[in-house]
């Protein structure tokens, strides 16, 4: 129940209004995240197997289903903010109702398939914990008051020069990537398979805010030669001149954060950029984005440690000074790769409703790796594949450069 408690703690300081408003079609209200993750356990676990379980409210199947066509009709995603009722208090009561039933179920003998499904539900909820944070940040950024989600005290940033990035060589060859089936992994992470890598070099750290400011001030947002055609179309259509949440005031760059409106830390990794922006920066720098196989090959065997949500910072940290090896591979920000989100060789969609979890989205998305400062600790692996459409900016998304060896 630790995962379930963590979601409730995230909502502890939200008002009913905070938890109800939807700031854009891609974001969901906090109340919806709290209810949807509860709906998952009720619909996928309790209703099929828990004898005598009483559904909390029959209308919730329509209100809080996300995209499971096989489970029934649902409230359209862009209109989730219209669900002013049930209230936040009622959603929390729904969570209590389902949690009590789950505690009773967990006291019984469960088969392996059911425990696997419950584990999937916990990891699904951790995904929504991160989405709750990123969606609240987007909502609060729209408010004229610029409220802080957590402690608004400024976090000190070191006014220091960032050491130039270095590029670490990797031999390439035939390597194995993907989840090997031991321990938890989402279906899209496997099967483990061989792939051929040409020799390559990977940056030892993430691109920083200071380096991104150089990109801005070099006029890159006005130079169509650096941009993919679809990216340049987004630049013109949306008027992008800097990352999402950034502003320039009296010559200083600021950004909206979960701690409120704060000055940019030049030494910290840049975040809230689209795939198009990441690709344009790489072009401007004379480099490229890594493939997801290159990233995973470099990450295999590294400790799963970094700046995750549990640190309480909820902002990326500057890279630590290390003698060797890639830094910031886990935590801080999701790293765009140049790889489309596609099925691995021999991938098969699971039977039933859970088969709709990832496979149906394997078109028009790009893979990100590594986790972020809003990711639950213990949720990511070297094989973890996150994915978003190339124009998405509201996640903690950044980049690491690569080049041919």
**pLDDT above 90 for 323:** no
Residues 275 and 193 in one domain: yes
Residues 131 and 203 in one domain: no
Q: What CATH number did the domain enclosing 284 receive? A: 3.90.1580.10
Number of domain units in the chain: 2
Q: Is residue 201 in a domain? A: yes
SS3 123: helix
**pLDDT above 90 for 352:** no
Is the model more confident about 324 or about 187?
A: 187
pLDDT at 355: 75
Give the pLDDT confidence of 212-241 residue by residue, as tens digits: 999 999 999 999 999 999 999 999 999 999
Give the predicted TM-score (pTM) of the model.
0.96
For the chain, counts of helices (H) and of strands (E): 11, 12
Residues 125 and 227 in one domain: no
Q: What is the mean pLDDT of residues 316-324?
A: 85
Residues 87 and 184 in one domain: no
Residues 229 and 278 in one domain: yes
Crossing angle between the packed helical segments 229-238 and 275-284, to the nearest 10 degrees: 110
Domain with 233, as residue range(s), is 167-404
**pLDDT above 80 for 137:** yes
pLDDT at 160: 61
Residues 172 and 135 in one domain: no
b/e code 199-225 from CB counts within 10 Å (16+ = b): ebbbbbbbbbbbbbbebbeeebbeeee
**pLDDT above 80 for 31:** yes
Q: Is residue 63 in a domain? A: yes
Q: Above pLDDT 70, what percent of the chain? A: 98
Band the pLDDT of 45: cuts 50, 70, 90: very high
Residues 174 and 227 in one domain: yes
Q: Is residue 154 in a domain? A: no
Among residues 96, 125, 141, which one ends one of the domains? 141
The CA–CA distances, whole Å, from 316 to 77, 88, 243, 309 equal: 29, 30, 15, 10
Q: What is the mean pLDDT of residues 194-223?
A: 98
**pLDDT above 80 for 153:** no
> What whole-number distance in Å separates Cα of residue 380 and Cα of residue 58?
34
**pLDDT above 60 for 360:** yes
**pLDDT above 70 for 208:** yes
Q: What is the mean pLDDT of residues 253-281?
A: 97
Give the mean pLDDT of the chain: 95
């Amino acid at each position: 129940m630790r995962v379930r408690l963590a979601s409730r703690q995230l909502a502890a300081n939200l008002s009913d209004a905070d938890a109800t408003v939807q700031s854009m079609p891609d974001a969901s209200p906090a109340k919806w995240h709290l209810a949807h993750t509860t709906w998952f356990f009720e619909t996928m676990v309790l209703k099929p197997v828990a004898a005598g379980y009483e559904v909390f409210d029959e209308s919730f199947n329509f209100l809080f289903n996300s995209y499971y066509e096989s489970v029934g009709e649902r409230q359209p995603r862009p209109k989730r903010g219209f669900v002013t009722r049930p209230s936040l208090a009622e959603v929390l009561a729904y969570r209590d109702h389902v949690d009590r039933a789950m505690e009773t179920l967990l006291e019984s003998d469960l088969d392996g398939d059911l425990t696997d499904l419950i584990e999937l539900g916990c990891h699904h909820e951790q995904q929504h914990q991160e989405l709750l944070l990123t969606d609240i940040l987007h909502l609060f950024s729209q408010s004229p008051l610029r409220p802080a989600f957590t402690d608004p005290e400024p976090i000190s940033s070191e006014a220091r020069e960032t050491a130039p990035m270095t590029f670490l060589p990797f031999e390439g060859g035939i390597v194995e990537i993907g989840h090997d089936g031991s321990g938890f992994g989402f279906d899209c992470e496997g099967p483990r398979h061989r792939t051929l890598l040409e020799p390559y070099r990977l940056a030892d750290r993430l691109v920083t805010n200071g380096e991104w400011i150089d990109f801005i001030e070099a006029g890159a947002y006005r130079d169509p030669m650096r941009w993919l055609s679809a990216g340049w179309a987004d630049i013109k259509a949306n008027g992008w001149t800097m990352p999402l949440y950034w502003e320039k005031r009296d010559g200083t760059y600021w950004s909206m954060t979960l701690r409120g409106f704060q000055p940019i830390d030049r030494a910290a990794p840049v975040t809230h950029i689209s795939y198009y922006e990441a690709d344009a920066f790489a072009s401007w720098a004379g480099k490229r984005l890594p493939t997801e196989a290159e990233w995973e090959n470099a990450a295999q065997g590294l400790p799963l440690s970094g700046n995750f949500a549990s640190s309480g910072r909820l902002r990326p940290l500057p890279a630590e000074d290390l003698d060797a090896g890639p830094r910031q591979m886990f935590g801080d920000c999701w790293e765009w790769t140049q790889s489309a989100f596609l099925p691995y060789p021999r991938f098969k969609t699971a039977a039933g409703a859970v088969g709709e979890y990832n496979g149906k989205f394997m078109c028009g998305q790009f893979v990100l790796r590594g986790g972020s400062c809003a990711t639950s600790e213990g949720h990511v692996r070297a094989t973890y594949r996150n994915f978003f459409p190339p124009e998405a900016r509201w996640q903690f998304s950044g980049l690491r450069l690569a080049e041919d060896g």
